[in-house]
Chain A
Amino acid sequence: MKFSITVTLKKDVLDPQGKVVQNTLFNMGMNSLKSIRQGKHFEVEVEENDQSIAKKKVDEMCKKLLVNLIIEDYKINKI
């Protein structure tokens, strides 16, 4: 079973890389741009047929290693 994990910086944490990307897009003339937050993307495959158990395992991976809960939020989606 495959899942995607999206990790982004929490709303009140400064995201300097996202800011630079945003400024560059502005400079390129993308005037409708409102905001950008840069993040990370993981694709995880687990050997488990029960979706809720599989999701729990992925959640544990996030909490224990993939995500720094002090500064980051994450979303898990089945793919």
Chain B
Amino acid sequence: MKSSVIVFPGSNCDRDVAVALEKLQFKNQMIWHKETELPKSDLIVIPGGFSYGDYLRSGAIAGKSRIIDEVIKAANSGCLVLGICNGFQILTETGLLKGTLLRNKNLKFINKDVHIQVQNNKTKFSNKYKENQVLKINIAHNEGNYFTDADHLKEMKDEDLIAFKYCDENGIKNLNSNPNGSLDNIAGIFNSQKNILGMMPHPERMVDEMISNQDGVNLFSSLIN
């Protein structure tokens, strides 16, 4: 599997993603945002961070950068695209994923390990997880409060496009287990073709038992399946 990690000024999880991908035997390349061509890749990752200092809106400037046109072309022709944290925000700004990420409801930057539940384990990104499996994954964001309109929410429910929801350790999803005010506890979503996944939690931080659990490993190993 060949992967490309897009690097913007202000990306800060790019190396972590690269380490996780290489650990799972991906042949990875780092792609600077000013490039105008993407190497042929099976997977494109847009990593977390603060691209362009989050100026204007999180992900807004990165969403109009040169390399993004190539990412959109690749995504539309079926390439797998994973956006994590700021990468999710960028994907919504490009229109590849619908909805947007608002400021956390409590107005605070939240950095902690939270529980999320797999909502659909029949996709290329999630087939190694068990049905409704609860994972413990780190979140670190200021704008993670997912919002979309009622029609899109219905479409996501009808077509199984919600990837992960915030929950407690027993899988209970309610206001108490919702860290940032996200609509319907949504932590990650797919596009309608399910070749694009955007998620606020950081699976790349959960691949090494020396520093965390390994709940993120199966996301990357699912892709190899």
Contact = CB atoms under 8 A, between A and B. Distances in A.
Contacts of B60: 65, 68
Interface residues of A, number: 11
Interface in A25-72: 64-66, 68, 70-71
Given A65-B56, A66-B56, A16 B103 contact: yes
Interface string B151-173: 00000000000000000000000
B148 A70 contact: yes
B107 A13 contact: no
Contact of A14 (B57, B98, B105): B105
Contact of B147 (A17, A66, A71): A71
B100 interface: yes
Contact of A16 (B56, B64, B105): B105
Given A14-B181, A65-B56, A70 B103 contact: no
Contacts of A65: 56, 60, 64
Nearest to A40: B56
Interface string B128-160: 000000000000000001011100000000000
The bracket for how many chain B residues form the interface is: 10 to 19
A68 B105 CA distance: 19
Given A13-B102, A65-B56, A65-B60, A70 B107 contact: no
A13 B105 CA distance: 12
Given A65-B56, A68-B57, A70-B149, A14 B64 contact: no
Given A20-B107, A70-B149, A14 B56 contact: no
A64 to B, nearest CB: 8
Interface in B36-95: 56-57, 60, 64, 93
A70 B89 CA distance: 13
A17 B107 contact: yes
Interface string A7-29: 00000011011001000000000
Given A13-B147, A20-B107, A70 B64 contact: no
Nearest to B107: A16
11 contacts: A13-B102, A14-B145, A16-B103, A16-B104, A16-B105, A20-B107, A64-B64, A68-B60, A68-B93, A70-B98, A71-B147
> Which 4 A-B pairs give the minimum distances between C-beta atoms?
A70-B100, A16-B107, A71-B100, A16-B103
Interface of A: 13-14, 16-17, 20, 64-66, 68, 70-71
Interface of B: 56-57, 60, 64, 93, 98-100, 102-107, 145, 147-149, 181
Given A70-B98, A70-B148, 12 more contacts: A14-B145, A16-B103, A16-B104, A17-B107, A20-B107, A64-B64, A68-B57, A68-B93, A68-B100, A70-B99, A70-B149, A71-B100
